[in-house]
Amino acid sequence: MAEKGQRVRIHYVGKLEDGTVIASTYDDDETFDFIVGGGNVLPAMEEAVLDMEEGDKKVITVAPEQAYGKYDPEKMETVDLEELPFPEEIVKRVGQTICFDGENGEFAEALIVAVNDGKVTLDFNSPLAGHTLTFEIELVSAKDAHFTYSKPVSTPAAPLAPGEKA
């Protein structure tokens, strides 16, 4: 049984309310790996694997509030075209996603939803905001997570002269 702190490997298919597949690990036959309790995946996915045995399959439904949040109209912003640090030919592509350096070294993604009269309307909501998601999960393996530390090896920039020590 998968436990908190273990590294799990899962296959999953993620779908929107209408059945549209948004992601599948089966497509490229690569598992999705994460540490249970590590906070790197949706909490509902971490919780789902906790009572699963290797080979078990489960379907979970995740409300917007537990996934990518409700759609928030306040996350729409209209700015002057010349204020954006991107070439004009990119910024004029409605439907294009652009990335910005955000606060605390993070980055922010925005979808260009309109370009009118030198103004660009950006949507900073996640593309999955407001959607109830369904995940079909298969637990492939659950093993104790082992972390190792290896000391970095320094390599001299130039070859050492005879008799010279590193």
Which residues, including other chains, have CB under 8 Å from residue 98's CB and lie 6 or more apart?
84, 86, 90, 91, 109, 110, 112, 122
**pLDDT surpassing 80 at residue 126:** yes
What pLDDT, on a 0 to 100 scale, did the predictor assign at position 65?
A: 96
What pLDDT, on a 0 to 100 scale, did the predictor assign at position 23?
A: 94
What HEC string does 21-32 produce? EEEECCCCCCCE
Domain ranges in the chain are 6-68+128-144, 73-123
What pLDDT, on a 0 to 100 scale, did the predictor assign at position 51?
A: 84
Amino acid at 109: E
Average pLDDT estimate for 72-99: 87
CATH 3.20.20.60 fits 6-68+128-144, yes or no: no
Q: How far apart are CA 12 and CA 10, in angstroms?
A: 6
Cα separations (Å) of 92 from 55, 115, 121?
Answer: 48, 6, 10
**pLDDT surpassing 60 at residue 166:** no
Are the CB atoms for 102 and 108 separated by under 8 Å? yes
**pLDDT surpassing 60 at residue 158:** no
Q: What is the pLDDT of residues 85-98, one digit of tens each?
A: 887 777 778 998 98
Q: What is the pLDDT of residues 5-61, one digit of tens each?
A: 999 999 999 999 999 999 999 988 899 999 999 999 999 999 999 989 999 999 999
Confidence of residue 154 (pLDDT cuts 50, 70, 90): very low
6-68+128-144 and 73-123 share one CATH topology? no
What pLDDT, on a 0 to 100 scale, did the predictor assign at position 159?
A: 47
What pLDDT, on a 0 to 100 scale, did the predictor assign at position 129?
A: 96
More confident residue, 113 or 87: 113
Q: Read off the pTM.
A: 0.75
Closest CA to 137 of 5, 13, 53: 13
CATH number of 73-123: 2.40.10.330
Percent of the chain predicted with pLDDT > 70: 87
